[in-house]
Structure 1
Amino acid sequence: MASTHQKKDASSLPVLSRHEGRYRNHATMKPASLLRTLRIFWDQAFNKPKDTRPAGEIPVQPLSRQQLLAAPNNTVYRLGHSTVLLKLRDQFWLTDPVFAERASPVQWAGPQRFHQPPISLEELPPIKAVILSHNHYDHLDRMAIKALTDKTEHFLAPLGVGDTLIEWGVPAHKVRQLDWWQSTEVAGIEFVATPSQHFSGRTLLDSNRTLWASWVMIDGDQRIFFSGDSGYFDGFKTIGEQYGPFDLTLMETGAYNVEWPHVHMQPEQTLQAHLDLRGRWLLPIHNGTFDLSMHAWHEPFDRILALAWEQNVSITTPMMGQPFYVQYPCRGLTWWLGVDEVAEPEPEPEPEQHGRVTNCKCPRQNA
């Protein structure tokens, strides 16, 4: 269990800046030129490498409501992309619920799921709170929000995102909107909206009209960090100094690209952010579900796992739907190994080389 934490005063920390009605990051980032933007869109549409999507079937461990209700407290399930279900204090908490077939404004085009969710929206038990990081389509799913409205008690969102929820039919009394460094308490757990370095928008006309955030979850002596989407910045160190150490960090590790270095992290930066936060265990998220960049679909797992082993960082890489525990999360497998080979078999390998999944080696727990 993490050491006892003392609550600190965040009043002296920097507050959100607004400029001409739009939210902005603390760091000034040079906007991409029109030519560069068009080139990025062209590459995404027409120059995709073949391995950005899996050739085989992603293994998923199915879940039922009965299983979830019977699970002990502090159980965590990764459902896909940045959607994580946590059972804390006999209640369920859900981050960035995306259950749609495509991360897109329409369901006939756009990035398509690699796998089905381990559990359907209908089968989910009552949710104490949904925690939202920002309004991009791979994090804010209108269909999922509508389906969750009746069974969810609270929706925690950055400024402006809550207004979107209310427009979609979520009762206003269920919505809590927070600025950076503001906090709210639900069922004895404190939630703090903390900075991230990203952007927002769902159309060509609403760029940065709503805020983006990461989240700190404080459950007594236990602390969890949810990164949302972010580039690497010194805010992670500030959050770690203010609220760390963290028992578990849910960290973006995927959809990175040298063309957008300020809004998504390379795996090396993800690991450094985890260290800045003073994290104990690292769960890589934002991968394995949608094709949102140019890297191989399995590359985020390969790179972050190798880096963690090299630097003796405790990491867990569960299958979608596989339970693990906040304090003892080493239930991971290198489940992605062999997925592509199963669909495109090579000539019969030697027996000792054949196999779909290999058990992972858990690095020694940090002191």
Structure 2
Amino acid sequence: MKKLALLFSLATLAGCSVSNQVETLIPENAVVKNKTTEGYTDRFKNIYDDFKDYPITCDKDCYPPSPVIECSAEMQNCAFTGSNPTIAINAGFSVQWLGHASFKINTSNGQQFLFDPVSEDFDWPVNWAFSLVSDISRTPNATLTQSELAETDAIMYSHIHYDHFKKDDLSHIGQNSEFLTPLGFADHFPNDGYKITEMAWYSSKQVGEVNVHFVPANHFSSRIMVPFIHEDHDATLWGGWVLEHQGKKLFFAGDTGYSPHFKDIASKYGNMDVCLIPIASYHSEEHPKWYRKVHTTPEDALIAAADLNCKVMIPWGYGNSSWQMGDKTSHSALFRLMHMYKKMNSNIPLHVLNEGESVKL
């Protein structure tokens, strides 16, 4: 009988899920903007929701050939072949671009962080649905081994969109790392023992020796399964991240359009040493104003880098492992960036990566 009771107890324990540990950070100095929309209250909104005074816009001849980008077709399936400038800023960050918005960051003290890790394509069944109605798909990006994943101290997500958060990846990442997310995010995790901290804009959390700050972006959120159903529109917050270690700071913008929030971030945290800023998904013949509102053009990204006083800017969002959502081709955004960098006479050092490449800064 004792043996049967023991077996029953073990089976019961094995069948029970382990509850997630969820912490919510909304300190007094945090910023949360709410709105009422589509009949739902307490939806999040951008700080500068009506901003539209973009300083510079390329309006013609924006994609000239570049001698430092080699492609197999016109601006498609390309590689950056140029030489990046030598940048000796001793910031103590090692940056690996895994593709699209996914980055692995290592600090000089041996800590490791991941931004928006997404492997392969969208979660099922969205990837299946997209395959039926469009050609939006993704070439697999650089992936991390299980041993590399096990070394991760914290994973930061910028927002809930499918190309930035993939539920299927959580089981591969495991429960040993902390997850730092925008407000409203924890409900999208399986209840399986994950340690999640939901954060408001301008809230901070210490992870080892690194202080992690959640900062504003100019974007939106939704994770709908059925088109035109608005129950989850802007129900979770969105934003970017700042890693601060020994006085050095690395900024990850997340998906964002240009607005004065970049100057606000610099005013609050000071100049940024390393800036990871998107340059893609801004192009739309049908909705050009809306696309630019939520995604930076290459010239917007350069203005943002100047607002942040970046010592080096690493662009992302283009590439052979992108979904080409709101882009002419896989590398059109990079062609435009190289053109506008010269036209604007930018003094922000650029370091251009191909997917999978790393740099120590």
Per the normalisation by structure 1, the TM-score is: 0.70
Amino acid at match of 1:303: R
Give the corresponding residue for 2:33. Answer: 16
The 2-side partners of 1:247 and 1:119 are apart by 26
Amino acid at match of 2:216: P
Give the corresponding residue for 2:104. Answer: 85
Amino acid at match of 2:249: R
Give the corresponding residue for 2:294. Answer: 263
In structure 2, the CA distance between the partners of 1:190 and 1:90, relative to structure 1 (3 Å rule), is same
Give the corresponding residue for 1:98. Answer: 118
- Alignment counterpart, residue 139 of structure 1, candidates 164, 168, 176: 164
SS of 2:188's partner is: helix
Equivalent pairs counted in the alignment come to 281
**Displacement of 1:12:** 5.6
Residues 228-237 or 255-264, more deviating: 255-264
SS of 1:319's partner is: coil
SS of 1:125's partner is: helix
In structure 2, the CA distance between the partners of 1:52 and 1:187, relative to structure 1 (3 Å rule), is farther
1:180 is the counterpart of 2:205: no
* Contact preservation (8 Å) 2:274, 2:310: yes
Give the corresponding residue for 2:329. Answer: 296
Amino acid at match of 2:197: R
* Contact preservation (8 Å) 2:280, 2:296: yes
In structure 2, the CA distance between the partners of 1:282 and 1:170, relative to structure 1 (3 Å rule), is farther
SS of 2:299's partner is: helix
SS of 2:273's partner is: strand
The 2-side partners of 1:81 and 1:52 are apart by 20
Superposed counterparts of 1:185-264, under 5 Å: 185-203=206-224, 204=229, 205-257=231-283, 258-260=288-290, 261-264=292-295
* Contact preservation (8 Å) 1:78, 1:322: yes
1:308 is the counterpart of 2:336: no
Deviation string for 1:103-143 (max 9, x for gaps)? 775332432113x2223453533211001100000100111
Give the corresponding residue for 1:125. Answer: 149
In structure 2, the CA distance between the partners of 1:105 and 1:206, relative to structure 1 (3 Å rule), is farther
The 2-side partners of 1:140 and 1:53 are apart by 30
Give the corresponding residue for 1:160. Answer: 184
Residues 131-140 or 283-292, more deviating: 283-292
Give the corresponding residue for 1:282. Answer: 313
SS of 2:306's partner is: helix
In structure 2, the CA distance between the partners of 1:190 and 1:117, relative to structure 1 (3 Å rule), is same
Which protein shows a greater Rg? 2
* Contact preservation (8 Å) 1:194, 1:214: yes
**Displacement of 1:99:** 0.3
Structure with greater contact order relative to length (CA < 8 Å, sep ≥ 6): 2
**Displacement of 1:170:** 4.6
The 2-side partners of 1:146 and 1:103 are apart by 13
Deviation string for 1:19-61 (max 9, x for gaps)? 412111123449xxxxxxxxxxxxxxxxxxxx999754769xx
Amino acid at match of 2:265: I
Q: Please give the root-mean-square deviation of Cα atoms over the aligned residues, in Å.
A: 2.8
SS of 1:209's partner is: coil
The 2-side partners of 1:297 and 1:57 are apart by 8
Misfit runs of 4+, over 6 Å: 51-54
In structure 2, the CA distance between the partners of 1:86 and 1:323, relative to structure 1 (3 Å rule), is same
Superposed counterparts of 1:5-44, under 5 Å: 14-19=31-36, 20-29=41-50
In structure 2, the CA distance between the partners of 1:154 and 1:245, relative to structure 1 (3 Å rule), is same
**Displacement of 1:213:** 1.0
**Displacement of 1:321:** 1.5
Give the corresponding residue for 2:12. Answer: none
1:148 is the counterpart of 2:167: no
The 2-side partners of 1:58 and 1:302 are apart by 11
The 1-side partners of 2:272 and 2:305 are apart by 9
Structure 1: runs of 5 or more not aligned? 1-9, 31-50, 60-72, 327-367
The 2-side partners of 1:302 and 1:123 are apart by 36
Deviation string for 1:313-332 (max 9, x for gaps)? 20111121212012xxxxxx
Deviation string for 1:332-366 (max 9, x for gaps)? xxxxxxxxxxxxxxxxxxxxxxxxxxxxxxxxxxx
Per the normalisation by structure 2, the TM-score is: 0.71
The 1-side partners of 2:104 and 2:340 are apart by 26
% identical aligned pairs: 27
1:169 is the counterpart of 2:169: no
